[in-house]
Structure 1
Amino acid sequence: MDFKPLVTLLAIVNPLAIVPFFIHYTQDFTPAQRRRTIVIASFSTFAVIAISAILGLQILDFFSISLQSFQVGGGTLLLIGSINMLNAQPAEAKSNADEVSDAAARASIAVVPLTIPLLTGPATMSTVVIYADKAHTFWQHAALVGYGAVIAAATAMCFLLAEPIARVLGKTGINVMTRLMGLILAALSVEVMADGLGKLFPALLGR
């Protein structure tokens, strides 16, 4: 079984790096409200990954986008995300202050901004679609959806243990973990881009 998609998704989603955001957004929540937020955020993360795995290629076909072009674009997004992470920022952190405030006002922070875009965003979705194209059997697609469940479980675990994690690692520890994951993601993004460019321009591979 190929675990590269799982490693890539763990590097991109990186729920450990989102722990400070979770603590900040839920600081005034009751224990019950915090638990509900964890459940919704974890399920939403799984749903985004599963839908991308099952319907992502059909969506590309609908818009007449080649997978090779999507690989190059997705690899670029991964590279940008890895650069953010090397600067100790979450790969998918794209919300502005107004969006965060509005989301909090609607009591929907579990979905926006925690799930989208902090946990799963364009880079995550494009990665899942790229790996979905490489899955040629039912079980390979099922494994990809299963990896979504693993990511959701990791997210729930990190959020459940948010305060102890923050105390043990501290800001510096979380930053170090984020940078390490960013380095892994940078290498994977180059591989994705190289594969896409090689298919778009066979001459680059000497064919």
Structure 2
Amino acid sequence: MDQLITAFVTLFVTIDPAGLAPLFIALTSGMEARERRRVGFRAAIIAFVILVLFALAGTAILALFGITLPAFRIAGGLLLFVIAFEMIFEKRAERHERTTTRLSADEMSHLAVFPLAIPLLAGPGAISATILLAGQMSGFAGKAELVGVIAAILAITFGVFALGERIEKLIGDTGRMVISRLLGVILAALAVQYVADGIVAFVNAPA
């Protein structure tokens, strides 16, 4: 149960569904509610496939390049800390907004793939967190639980997208900033824990 909670919290704050809601609304501006739901659902499905791929084969990919899990845990923890820093100081929202402004007319028809699924949902931070969690949740049961967590978070994300306009009006800019920064502090603490665990495992690894 502790692993499930850790996995859920880590991926939830990394993907940050609430923080993406205003960006989703901006990207789908002018669309009907049904079209918005279709785009949000497709983005969630694509992100699910990407994250599940790394959950199941992430360790094998690391082995192919000769990277140990402790080393990746340290690197992933540092990356998560950078994301947490950006969330706390509102840098992440600014970067995401810059990403959305680069869309051309042709890319608008494929916005479910870019930038929604990649890199806003299944970005480097989420992929790193997924591989790290997959290393902790070993065995078929552990992987199945991780896939379930990924599915649950992306289902929540789709729900937030579907209700994004209402949520934005409800919490306002102040509420969004408070939530984003609170989640950033939690993610920073988890990132430090990942780095500490990775250093211990790296030092204690057999030569």
TM-score, structure 1 normalization: 0.90
CA shift, 1:115, in A, is: 1.8
- 2:11 pairs with 1:9: yes
Partner of 2:39 in structure 1?
Answer: 37
Distance 1:37 1:130, change over 3 A: same
Q: Where do 4+ consecutive residues of structure 1 move more than 3 Å?
A: 89-100
Task: For 2:66 and 2:120, locate their aligned partners in 1 and report how far apart those are by CA, in whole Å.
Answer: 28
More deviation, 108-117/75-84 = 108-117
Partner of 1:200 in structure 2?
Answer: 202
Distance 1:98 1:123, change over 3 A: closer
Unmatched 5+ stretches in structure 1: none
Q: Quick one: percent identity of the two aligned structures?
A: 35
Contact between 2:54 and 2:131, CA under 8 Å: does it hold in 1? yes
TM-score, structure 2 normalization: 0.90
- 2:164 pairs with 1:162: yes
**Correspondence 1:1-207 to 2 at 5 A:** 1=1, 2=3, 3-90=5-92, 93=95, 96-97=98-99, 100-102=102-104, 105-202=107-204
Task: For 2:13 and 2:155, locate their aligned partners in 1 and report how far apart those are by CA, in whole Å.
Answer: 15
Unmatched 5+ stretches in structure 2: none
Contact between 1:90 and 1:118, CA under 8 Å: does it hold in 2? no
Contact between 2:100 and 2:115, CA under 8 Å: does it hold in 1? no
RMSD: 2.2
